[in-house]
């Protein structure tokens, strides 16, 4: 019975830790502290559907995490292989934190706390500002 419980626990642990951050993620929602604290009036809520949305846009902000701990962030347009404003970075996972580091010095430049992480979605908030959130979906 002890062996069965050990094996069951090991399988569960491997399944949970088997999720990988590597791949391409598209930013679907970004709220700054100002936006998070701002309350919409009833008139703004009524007008929002008529104003159009950015979801049908032909550009997307993507972040690519590679297996070697490096990555790239940028704005990509439909039909374009290379994005604009691309910026490379280094990253590390430490518990429930995603740490962005400087390539040369190794210093941590940004700390994000992982709120939700599944095979298809990633939700994070800034470790310093709880009110600043980002949501991503995996596209590759």
State the pLDDT at residue 31. 86
Where residue 3 falls among pLDDT bands split at 50, 70, 90?
A: very low
How confident is the model over 85-104, as pLDDT tens digits? Answer: 788 899 999 999 999 998 88
Contact 125, 112 (CB under 8 A): yes
Triad 103, 136, 31: Cα angle to 5°: 95
Domain limits, the chain: 21-36+57-138
Give 28-84 pLDDT, tens digit per residue.
988 888 765 666 667 766 666 666 554 455 778 999 999 999 999 988 877 766 767
Residue 125 CB-half CA count within 13 A:
13
Question: 1.20.1250.20, 2.40.128.280, 2.40.50.100, 3.30.565.10: which CATH number matches 21-36+57-138?
Answer: 2.40.128.280
Per-residue confidence (pLDDT) for residue 62, from 0 to 100: 92
Evaluate if residue 18 carries a pLDDT over 70.
no
Position 139 pLDDT exceeds 80: yes
Strands 133-138 and 121-126, sheet pairing: antiparallel
Torsion of CA 76, 124, 131, 44, to 10 degrees: 50
């Amino acid at each position: 019975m002890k062996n069965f419980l050990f094996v069951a626990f090991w399988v569960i642990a491997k399944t949970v830790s088997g999720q990988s951050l590597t791949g391409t993620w598209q930013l679907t929602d970004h709220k700054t502290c100002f936006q998070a604290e701002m309350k919409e009036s009833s008139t703004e809520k009524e007008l929002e559907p008529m104003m159009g949305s950015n979801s049908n846009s032909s550009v997307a902000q993507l972040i690519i995490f590679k297996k070697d701990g490096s990555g790239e962030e940028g704005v990509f347009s439909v039909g374009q292989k290379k994005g604009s404003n691309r910026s490379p970075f280094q990253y590390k996972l430490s518990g429930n934190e995603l740490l962005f580091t400087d390539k040369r010095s190794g210093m941590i430049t940004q700390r994000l706390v992982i709120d939700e992480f599944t095979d298809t979605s990633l939700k994070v908030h800034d470790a310093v500002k709880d009110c600043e959130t980002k949501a991503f979906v995996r596209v590759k």
